[in-house]
Amino acid sequence: MPLEAVEARRLYRQVADQLRALIDSGEYAVGSRLPTERDIAEQLKVSRPTVREALIALEVEGRVRIRVGSGIYVSDPAALAAPLPASAMIEGPFELLRAREFIEGAIAEEAARVAKPEDIARIDASLLAMANTQHPGDASMIHDRAFHVAVAGSLDNAVLVRVVGELFDQRLNPYFAKLAHYFENPESWGAALSEHQAIRDAIAARDPDAARLTMREHLARSQERFAQNFGTEAASPRAQARSG
C-alpha cells in the first residue's frame, strides 16, 4: 500500500488527503474495502484515533461508507461533497476532547473551592434535566452543555463560561456529529450521567482533587467511547447486529 508516514498538526487531515488521493487514483475501486484502521495506523505511524478521524472526514465527504462490524468501503463518487478547505481548520473530535479534559479539569478543581449553594443548585438542575431526557437527541445535548457551563459558571468568570460553551459547541461540527452517530446511545448516556454526578458530588464536597480527577476521567472516558472499533477487528455482537 503506497502510503507515506506523516507528522504535523491535524494529522487526520493528512491521512484523509492520502487516502482520498489513493481512491481518486483508482488504487481502491468503488465498492472495495479499505485496509483496517490498525493496518493504516501501522503503515502511517499514527494513532488509531487519528485514522478514525480521517475515515470520518472521508465519510462526511461521501468518499467512503462505514459499515459497523464489516469495514470501510469506497463509495460511488456520483454525489460527493467537496472536502472542507484547509482554512476551515476543523479540529478532530479527539483533539477537542483532550483540550476539554485539560481545561475543564482545572475548572472543576477551582469550582470545588468556590462554588456557592446556588451554583450547586444550577448543576443539580442540569443533572435532573439530563436524567429525564432521552439520548441521543438535541435536548440531551442542551442539558449536557448546561452541566458543563454550570460548573464553569461557579467561578464567576464570563470568559471561562464562554470558552467552555464554545468548546462544547464544537460537537456540532460534521466530523464530531458523524462519530457520535456511531457510538452514542442510551447506555453511553447513562454512563455520562453517572460521571457527571460524580463530578457534582466532588464539587459539593469541596474536594478539589476529586473534582479535577472526576472531570478528567469523564472526558477521558468520552474519548474511550468514541475510540471503539467500527471496522472488522474484534467487532462486538452488538456492533455486528447494528451493521445491517
Q: What is the pLDDT of residues 74-116, one digit of tens each?
A: 998 765 555 555 445 567 788 889 999 999 999 999 999 999 9
Arithmetic mean of pLDDT, 224-233: 67
Task: Report whether pLDDT(243) > 50.
Answer: no
Of 103-112, 143-152, 233-242, the range with the lowest mean pLDDT is 233-242
pLDDT band at 52 (very low <50, low <70, confident <90, very high): confident
pLDDT band at 184 (very low <50, low <70, confident <90, very high): confident
pTM of the model as a whole: 0.75
Rounded distance, CA 81 to CA 92, Å?
Answer: 18
Measured CA distances, 236 to 4, 86, 115, 240, 244 (Å) = 31, 36, 42, 6, 14
Cβ density class 75-89: b for 16+ within 10 Å, e for less: beeeeeeebbeeeee
DSSP string, 151-167: HHHTT--HHHHHHHHHH
Q: Angle between the 117-131 and 138-153 helix axes, to the nearest 10 degrees?
A: 170
Arithmetic mean of pLDDT, 183-198: 91
Measured CA distances, 102 to 107, 199, 215, 223 (Å) = 9, 15, 9, 13
Neighbours of 221 (CB within 10 A): 16
Which grid cell sits at 113? 473551592
pLDDT value of residue 145 = 95
Arithmetic mean of pLDDT, 169-192: 84
Rounded distance, CA 74 to CA 37, Å?
Answer: 14
Of 27-36, 59-68, 170-179, 183-192, the range with the lowest mean pLDDT is 170-179
Rounded distance, CA 151 to CA 99, Å?
Answer: 16
Rounded distance, CA 156 to CA 33, Å?
Answer: 52
